[in-house]
Structure 1
């Protein structure tokens, strides 16, 4: 009998539904280690199975309908106690595990990390990872990357006003940083200076930021790092939970509202969220930057099954983002006092549609993780009602990993990935050619744990084929068309050692790979958002990175911290640069002439090194002084000059007080000083230095109990002194947009105070 593809899929589904193993249950009790009293409201999470629950008034918890075999990390967290992580091996139908938590004056850094190949405790993970919770993401940020850049050492942002932020990790951005959401790489127009990521900032329950090359798992483009976005885990059977959050910011009138509900009915799980943001022009110490408002609307949801054979979740999302721009000529006024929320032309209209099917199937003594994705990214650049530039990108992706059963401390993973991109131009102007791109990858990975040591190693092969399409405009060739193929073998080694509970060491070494993107290969046109004419180079070679890093984490209750160093040598580093006098005059549809600086894509050898450190003091259980420092040194080795667009060194200092106040829970007040150092290591051919500056920030918040309903209220303030400053990575600072007019520049945001409220909802227990 001959079976087609459809029949095979049907048989596979029947296998998991009818012939899977019996279900297992994990249950137990959460107590105080000293008093043995139950702890109610502790969060117990099985992140590998995307499930969580809370302990009841007697401290009891339970997970039902779990796979009957496998090893899982259980994470238990409760405010005021040290988090506890245990490995549980399911070998029978029912397992009882009790947790006794120790009081702690600090939040422990020991967390479960899921964004690496093997889900593990952070101290057993050689990758440098920062985990940011939902509470830490709330504040006066205007987008998700803006929120992360305030929290994560080594993470910066390239900004275009308030509505657009691109992540930069250890000096690398654009197509060198991968953003993962719903288990699928976010695919938009990562190559563009003024193209942000199309993700609702209210969506994450927590975010993992992986610093350093992660190409072994994520393939080409993860040469700098990864931002892994995790949505809330599904509740246990019979529960319906949710959240409502709302905030208002004084500087730009930003209103941010979001409602989420999620439930579990005997293994049928679901989630739905709707969010809306709206901001008028933001205020600088010199006035409101004209037409700098934005608004976005997003809807997302999930339907799925959590059963003994694993889980299968279908995620879907839609985001529409409108962002205003100001097309100023040199000498035009940059500021006025308008608070209109109506966006004028020019502006961006961005739509992002996404479907992601996330599966985790138990097969024998191992398990298969299979993530399938489809995304449509539509980006319209509007100078009037008809789009000038209009990119329409469709991406199909597959990522499969098979985890073999752990034996003698060894964990093995094999996997493959594939994606297909199809991009067409629907506008009347053209910057990059329409293109098709195929990416294929395969890898093997092994991790060994013994005593207080772990060792991991991996090998990956990648193949990328890109085809740019020829285009004639008014009988003139705009794009000649090109065909390129790139392939590479990457490797990685990692090691961790715990000297004691107070000292932990981790190190990595390896190589990574990035294929040139279609914009670098084939651009030939005016990039309006950057005010320049860009010319690609179809003869570019793939980037090859050789990097190493090491981190020492230390501390107990009074002093904690870390110090990390890294070096990243990149052969054939790709970037666009301009030369004085290299200009091109373009005639528009109305026969108006406009002269632009020409930026051409080329390659050099580059070396980036630096360090990240933190030193935190906790002299009393309610007094916390946190300090972090980040510095990146980047050199163009070919021409012996600094690389462009490198963040300045920064020192963050925050004093946080958490006194006990009757009637208030988790009360805090904080004050912070952010010191940004002068960035005079610049590419002087087209970049200007950025002066140093310091910003004063503050915050206050508490959780109230209105009957059984918890309500978190907070207020945050940034740039309290209304300081005039230009950030080194702001694209609107002097000398960034126009080489011909170095006086052109827009200050960063002035004083901003945000008031917010957060309500966790329990609809059905």
Structure 2
């Protein structure tokens, strides 16, 4: 809490000064007609508005000094301009060129706050709206629509993201600007986030330790929270989804308003699913779940500073499928089950100087996790409390060089209250400092940086030596220097290349260091290794992009070498009627990439065809294959966009054909997985009702009820197929 008090004092001091800078302007097309509904955003802030029917717009209380303004409108070329604010009022006249292209969002996760096409480090971006139109049945399911992203699943409700073959503690998840800490090393534990109230997701594929420290060795998944309403507006919506396979329902209600400098939003969600059905018609008992979620935020901004406070409460009650369960009821999870409460508080504070900016993110999360064998038997009960901070100073730009220096840290405690211990009571402290530089001139961009991190892990002794549940006290320190270098160039107006070289590290987690007992989620007796060293990796990424008005193509290739890769291996012995597994280390390497096209032919600009192929291979230094490596995939989507007179706008119809190849490259305790093809359909659009609108969508996933098993399904060992046909109906009433 000490950091919270310091930051609140910091915000108060910054509010002493106040000025009234604002921008007015008009936006026209090349034929001098006024453009309505153009989005105008100040990059690096939550300030945005839209032009009215006359093309006029106004933004008040904007940051002083140099700002970057982005102008977006579907069907027109995106425009970004830099403006130095030296007077109380600035007047702009903007002309947008008509052009068929996709809008580029400003990337938040890469910290220099640039549009996707401007970033040296390749960052994938998807809005929740895009993912839902593609038939995503959950947040983690939506992530898998991004090339290179897969999902380790346990039924319908538990999913863990995989980035190019790396998962668990090797993938760092950020939400509300702070790192998500919720016992993510557990195989049977999901993200604990609800899709409602999330605006978009950004994915960095590859080591991002320079920006985020330990655990970003495989990449970062960065969830951007729902935006506040535009200045001077109030918006309300009610969203409803129905799922045929699980008889599932999801209801969300949200309201947000920005009357002046103050901004407020709140959103509640309730989701419920029965057991999912496989193509034979049978149900997979106890894959049911009930989720309650609440998000709220309050913000304030003026020309000198901005504050954004967010809170998210998520309650998840979900069943754990096991053999010989007797089906009772429909929705309430049976035993064994998990009950998880997750609280996330975040505070983002920005202070603007004439030519520089100071930004601080402070977060606190409280993860309360129970695993119950019966109503009166709490087998596992852990409370994880994490406070973290991230302070960055954006130095004045010198010539063509932007510089950021920063410090990040974390204080984390884990306490046990159940009959069993998965990991011991422990305290973890992180601190790291970094500096990164971005150089731009003409068509060339270079990014470089250095970072040093220190992690200290202290755990208590518990139990009797030689017995299950015994944990020896540990006091370990892990340190690492890391660096990154990237180069981007626009060879022509249509062809761009990027190359990034980066190192990353991951300190071993408590489970890997200390385990001594049966891990119920995987039915094995796990023994930790307190002598484990840092995982240290070195990765090279190459990205090539070609973009014309009607054709786009990309190629991404990578090679990732990891020293001291931590893995779990069977010993052949048995304890407590379970096979014994030890944590070991060996050098490893992964390689592969993604390639894809997007074609929308003239004069049929309403027709879009996208196709992508993704591949990853992971091996130890002895050429044994790594576990949990996704099979190669080929994804295809044909989508048409249309309007039907005046009653249906932004209409779309899509056909997806996704082929997953067989996985023959499996580890010693995995088995081969057969290939399969899934067909999905989608249809939707926006219906106007006076001043209100309704977004409608209908998706049919696994249309032909194909029986298949994904290689990353944790139910694969029991021969349980993945979900059969699932029809999803979505309605979003915007008032």
TM-score, with structure 1 as normaliser: 0.92
1:618 has 2:600 as partner:
yes
Give the aligned partner of residue 733 of structure 1.
716
| Equivalent-residue separation in structure 2 for 1:230 and 1:379 (angstroms) | 25
Preserved CA contact (<8 Å) 1:75 1:111: no
Indicate which of 205, 208, 211 corresponds to 1:214. Answer: 208
Residue 378 of structure 1 and its aligned partner are, at CA, apart by 0.9
Per-residue CA shift, 1:80-135, capped at 9, x if unaligned?
33433333333332223343333344424x43211112111222212121111131
Indicate which of 6, 24, 27 corresponds to 1:27. Answer: 24
| Equivalent-residue separation in structure 2 for 1:348 and 1:166 (angstroms) | 16
Per-residue CA shift, 1:432-454, capped at 9, x if unaligned?
11111000000011111000111
Residue 339 of structure 1 and its aligned partner are, at CA, apart by 7.0
Per-residue CA shift, 1:296-351, capped at 9, x if unaligned?
101111122111112112211110011111221xxx589x7x77112110111010
| Equivalent-residue separation in structure 1 for 2:397 and 2:13 (angstroms) | 24
Distance 1:45 1:642, change over 3 A: same
1:133 has 2:123 as partner:
no
Indicate which of 572, 579, 599 corresponds to 2:581. Answer: 599
| Equivalent-residue separation in structure 2 for 1:118 and 1:544 (angstroms) | 25
Distance 1:393 1:8, change over 3 A: closer
Alignment of 1:404-423 (within 5 A): 404-423=395-414
SS of 1:414's equivalent in the other structure is strand
Per-residue CA shift, 1:382-415, capped at 9, x if unaligned?
1112310111100011110000121211100000
Matched residues, number: 727
1:272 has 2:272 as partner:
no
Residue 13 of structure 1 and its aligned partner are, at CA, apart by 4.5
Preserved CA contact (<8 Å) 2:64 2:354: no
Gaps of 5+ in 1: 586-594, 735-743
| Equivalent-residue separation in structure 2 for 1:540 and 1:577 (angstroms) | 14
Give the aligned partner of residue 71 of structure 1.
67
Distance 1:597 1:31, change over 3 A: farther
Preserved CA contact (<8 Å) 1:234 1:269: yes
| Equivalent-residue separation in structure 2 for 1:672 and 1:536 (angstroms) | 44
Give the aligned partner of residue 663 of structure 2.
679
SS of 1:628's equivalent in the other structure is strand
Residue 711 of structure 1 and its aligned partner are, at CA, apart by 1.3
Alignment of 1:562-711 (within 5 A): 562-579=554-571, 581-585=572-576, 595-619=577-601, 620-637=604-621, 639-663=622-646, 664-683=648-667, 685-711=668-694
Preserved CA contact (<8 Å) 1:513 1:543: yes
Give the aligned partner of residue 159 of structure 1.
153
Preserved CA contact (<8 Å) 2:458 2:473: yes
Alignment of 1:78-157 (within 5 A): 78-108=73-103, 110-138=104-132, 140-149=135-144, 151-157=145-151
Give the aligned partner of residue 330 of structure 2.
340
Distance 1:13 1:502, change over 3 A: closer
Preserved CA contact (<8 Å) 1:446 1:458: yes
Gaps of 5+ in 2: none
Per-residue CA shift, 1:115-164, capped at 9, x if unaligned?
11211122221212111113113254343111111x21111111011001
Residue 472 of structure 1 and its aligned partner are, at CA, apart by 1.3
Preserved CA contact (<8 Å) 2:43 2:67: no
Distance 1:96 1:160, change over 3 A: same
Give the aligned partner of residue 750 of structure 1.
724
Preserved CA contact (<8 Å) 1:47 1:233: no
Preserved CA contact (<8 Å) 2:594 2:612: yes
Give the aligned partner of residue 491 of structure 1.
483
SS of 1:289's equivalent in the other structure is coil
Residue 14 of structure 1 and its aligned partner are, at CA, apart by 4.8
Distance 1:569 1:6, change over 3 A: closer
Distance 1:10 1:204, change over 3 A: closer
| Equivalent-residue separation in structure 1 for 2:5 and 2:645 (angstroms) | 64
Per-residue CA shift, 1:490-538, capped at 9, x if unaligned?
0000111112331111110021111001111001111112122211100
SS of 1:168's equivalent in the other structure is strand
Preserved CA contact (<8 Å) 2:43 2:114: no
Give the aligned partner of residue 250 of structure 1.
244
| Equivalent-residue separation in structure 2 for 1:653 and 1:315 (angstroms) | 38
Distance 1:163 1:507, change over 3 A: same
Runs (4+) of structure 1 exceeding 6 A deviation are: 4-11
Alignment of 1:82-481 (within 5 A): 82-108=77-103, 110-138=104-132, 140-149=135-144, 151-286=145-280, 287-328=282-323, 332=324, 340-385=330-375, 386-472=377-463, 476=467, 478-481=470-473
| Equivalent-residue separation in structure 2 for 1:515 and 1:5 (angstroms) | 24
| Equivalent-residue separation in structure 2 for 1:105 and 1:602 (angstroms) | 53
Give the aligned partner of residue 522 of structure 1.
514
Over aligned residue pairs, what C-alpha RMSD do you find?
2.0
Preserved CA contact (<8 Å) 1:71 1:90: yes
SS of 2:449's equivalent in the other structure is strand
SS of 1:131's equivalent in the other structure is strand
| Equivalent-residue separation in structure 2 for 1:165 and 1:535 (angstroms) | 25
| Equivalent-residue separation in structure 2 for 1:541 and 1:729 (angstroms) | 27
1:509 has 2:501 as partner:
yes
Distance 1:356 1:14, change over 3 A: closer
Preserved CA contact (<8 Å) 1:66 1:310: no
SS of 1:270's equivalent in the other structure is strand
| Equivalent-residue separation in structure 1 for 2:727 and 2:711 (angstroms) | 23
Distance 1:466 1:656, change over 3 A: same
Distance 1:634 1:38, change over 3 A: same
SS of 1:201's equivalent in the other structure is coil
Preserved CA contact (<8 Å) 2:11 2:307: no
Preserved CA contact (<8 Å) 2:48 2:231: no
Alignment of 1:40-51 (within 5 A): 40-51=36-47
SS of 2:707's equivalent in the other structure is coil
Residue 205 of structure 1 and its aligned partner are, at CA, apart by 1.1
| Equivalent-residue separation in structure 1 for 2:686 and 2:178 (angstroms) | 35
Distance 1:24 1:695, change over 3 A: same
Distance 1:537 1:680, change over 3 A: same
1:16 has 2:14 as partner:
yes
| Equivalent-residue separation in structure 2 for 1:326 and 1:9 (angstroms) | 45
